[in-house]
C-alpha cells in the first residue's frame, strides 16, 4: 500500500546542505507492521515525516517518490494531502507530554479531528471520542473527555494520542518512538495496546524505534537505517537470526540477550555516527566498522531481494 522510492530529504542550513535522508526505498503491505531502527539522526523520523507531508521547513528539499495506494504524495496539493492526513494516514508522536494542545480538553481535541474529516454531528464526534478513550483503556472515559492534557500522566496522554490517531480508522499508522519517553511498565502496556488495536482495526503500522528489544516483540519486517540510508532490510526473523550488515550485528550485540548466558559486558559500537554535513565518501559506517576493507571506500548498494544489506562483505 505504501511504496517509497529513492526518497531524499535535504535541509539547507547556515553551514551547508544536510542530507538527512538519502535515496531511501521501502514498501509497506496492507496490515503489515514495518519496524524502522536506527540511532538518532539516522533519518528514520525525517523520512516518515516526509511520508506524512509534515516537513514544513521552507529550507527542506524532498525528492523521490512516495506512493500511497497508487497516489503520489510527493508534490501533492496541500489540500489533498490534508484530506489524507489524519484520515487515512495517522501519526503517533514520541513525546506525549508536548503533543497535545494545552488549552483544550482531550475530548475536544479528538472530536476536532473527527469533525475535520467526517460529516457527523458534534454530539456523534464527542461520543466517538468517549468510545475511543474506552478502547485505549482510559478509565472512566465519560469523565476523562473533559480533562486537560496536563491532568493526565504521560502514559495516559500517549493513549489519548493513540486514540486520536485511530479516530478515523486510518489504513496506515506511523508511530515515531511512541514508547521511548515512557516508563518501562507503561511501555509494555502501550505495546500491548498497539497489538490489540492492530488486530481490531487492521491498520498497517510503521513503527520507528532505536530499541531492538521492542522490534523483536512487534515487527513483521524491519529496516535498519544508518546516516540517512537503509543499510539492511529483511523479515524480523532473518534479521535477528542472520543479520547481514555489520551495523545490524553491532546493534544486536549491544542489547542483552533474553535467554542463555549473559555476556560479561555488552558491546558498544565504537565511534559516533558521521556528520551529515560532510559525510565521508563510501560506506558511511566504515569508520566504525570492524570488518572494513579496501572496497568500503566506495559506496555499497542495497540489493533487491527480500533480505538485503548495503555492504560489500555481503555482496562480495
Partner 1 sequence: MIFSLLQRIGQMLFVMFGISLLVFLIFFATPGADPAARIAGRNASPEVLEAVRKSFGFDQPMYVQYLTMMKKIFITGDLTSFVNRGWKVVPAVMDTIPVTLSLVFGAAILWVVFALIIGIVAAATRGSWIDKILMMLGLIGISMPVYWLGEVMNLLTQSRYHDTWLFSWVPPLGYKNFSDDPKGWFLTLVIPWITLSILYIGLYGRVLRAAIVESLQEDYIRTARAKGLSETRILLRHALRTSLVAFVTLFGLDFGALVGGSALLTEVVFGLQGVGKLTYDALLNLDLPIIMTTVLYASFFVVMANAVVDILYMMLDPRVRTA
Partner 2 sequence: MSAILDTLDATPKSRGPWATALRRLLRDHAAVAALIVFVVIVVVCLLAPAYAYWAGTDPFKSTLDAVIKLNGQDVPVMEQSTEGLGLGYTPIGPTWQLGNYFLGADNQGRDVMARLLYGGLNSLFIAGMAAVMTLFFATLIGLAAGFFGGIIDMLLSRFLDILWAFPVYLLAISLSIVLIAQGLNLGFVTIESGSLWLPIFIIGIVYIPYVARPVRGQVLALRESEFVLAAIGLGVPSHRILLRDILPNVSTTLIVFVPIIMALNMITEGALSFLSIGVQPPDASWGTIIQDGQTLLYTRPMVALAPGIAIVITVLALNVLGDGLRDALDPRSKIRIGRS
Out of 60, 83, 120, 186, point to the residue binding partner 2 (CB under 8 A). Answer: 60
Instruction: State the binding partner of 117 from partner 2, partner 1, none, CB within 5 to 8 A by kind.
Output: partner 1
Judged by CB under 8 A, does residue 277 bind partner 2? yes
Task: Give whichever of 13 and 140 is closer to partner 2, judged by the CB atom.
Answer: 13
- Name the nearest CA neighbour of 113 among 85, 93, 81: 85
In the list 37, 52, 55, 165, the residue contacting partner 2 (rule: CB under 8 A) is: 55
Q: How near is the Cβ of 222 to partner 1 at its closest, in Å? A: 24
Q: What's phi and psi for 100, nearest 5 deg?
A: -110, 145
Strand segments (E) across the chain: 2-12, 17-28, 33-37, 60-68, 71-72, 89-92, 172-176, 204-209, 221-226, 229-235, 308-309
- The residue (of 21 and 175) whose beta carbon lies closer to partner 2 is 21
Q: Work out what residue 277 binds among partner 1, partner 2, none; the CB cut-off runs from 5 to 8 Å by kind.
A: partner 2
| 281 part of the interface to partner 2, by CB under 8 A | no
**Residue 148 touches which member of partner 1, partner 2, none, C-beta under 5-8 Å by kind:** partner 1
Q: Could you list the residues that contact partner 1 (CB under 8 A)?
A: 52, 54, 56, 58, 78, 82-87, 90-91, 93, 95, 98-104, 112-113, 116-117, 148, 150-151, 161, 164-165
User: Which residues lie across from 89 on neighbouring strands?
Assistant: 85, 172
47: helix, strand or coil: helix
Closest CA to 174 of 53, 71, 74: 53
Scored b (16 or more CB within 10 A) or e, 210-219 reads bebebbbebb
By CB under 8 A, the count of residues binding partner 2 is 21
Closest CA to 299 of 290, 307, 315: 315
| Interaction of residue 13 with partner 2, rule CB under 8 A | yes
Beta carbons of 69 and 149 less than 8 angstroms apart:
no
Question: Rounded to the nearest 5°, which phi and psi values hold at 175?
Answer: -115, 110
Residue placing its CB nearer to partner 1 in the complex, 82 or 295: 82
Binding residues for partner 2 (CB under 8 A): 11, 13, 15-16, 18, 20, 40-41, 45-46, 49, 55-57, 59-60, 273, 275-278
Amino acid at each position: 500500500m505504501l511504496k517509497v522510492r529513492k526518497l531524499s530529504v535535504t535541509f539547507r542550513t547556515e553551514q551547508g546542505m544536510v542530507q538527512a535522508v538519502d535515496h531511501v526505498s521501502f514498501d509497506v503491505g496492507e496490515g503489515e507492521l514495518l519496524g524502522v531502527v536506527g540511532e538518532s539522526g539516522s533519518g528514520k523520523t525525517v523520512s516518515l515525516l516526509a511520508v506524512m507531508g509534515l516537513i514544513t521547513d521552507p529550507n527542506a528539499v524532498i525528492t523521490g517518490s512516495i506512493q500511497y495506494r497508487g497516489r503520489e504524495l510527493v508534490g501533492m496539493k496541500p489540500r489533498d494531502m490534508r484530506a489524507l492526513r489524519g484520515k487515512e494516514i495517522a501519526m503517533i508522536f514520541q513525546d506525549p507530554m508536548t503533543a497535545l494542545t494545552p488549552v483544550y480538553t482531550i475530548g475536544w481535541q479528538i472530536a476536532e479531528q473527527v469533525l475535520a474529516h467526517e460529516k457527523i454531528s458534534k454530539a456523534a464526534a464527542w461520543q466517538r471520542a468517549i468510545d475511543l478513550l474506552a478502547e485505549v483503556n482510559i478509565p472512566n472515559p465519560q469523565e476523562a473527555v473533559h480533562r486537560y492534557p496536563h491532568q493526565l500522566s504521560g502514559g495516559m496522554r500517549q493513549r489519548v494520542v493513540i486514540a486520536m490517531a485511530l479516530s478515523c480508522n486510518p489504513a496506515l499508522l506511523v508511530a515515531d518512538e511512541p514508547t521511548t519517553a515512557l516508563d518501562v511498565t507503561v511501555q509494555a502496556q502501550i505495546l500491548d495496546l498497539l497489538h490489540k488495536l492492530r488486530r481490531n482495526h487492521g491498520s498497517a503500522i510503521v513503527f520507528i524505534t532505536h530499541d531492538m528489544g521492542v522490534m523483536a516483540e512487534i515487527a513483521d519486517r524491519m529496516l535498519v537505517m544508518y546516516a540517512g540510508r537503509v543499510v539492511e532490510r529483511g523479515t524480523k526473523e532473518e534479521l535477528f537470526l542472520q543479520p547481514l550488515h555489520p551495523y545490524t550485528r553491532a546493534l544486536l550485540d549491544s542489547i542483552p540477550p533474553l535467554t542463555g548466558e549473559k555476556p560479561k559486558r555488552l558491546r558498544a559500537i565504537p565511534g559516533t555516527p558521521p556528520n551529515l554535513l560532510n559525510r565521508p565518501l563510501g560506506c558511511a559506517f566504515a569508520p566504525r566498522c570492524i570488518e572494513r576493507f579496501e572496497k568500503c571506500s566506495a559506496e555499497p548498494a542495497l540489493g533487491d531481494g527480500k533480505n538485503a544489506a548495503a555492504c560489500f562483505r555481503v555482496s562480495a
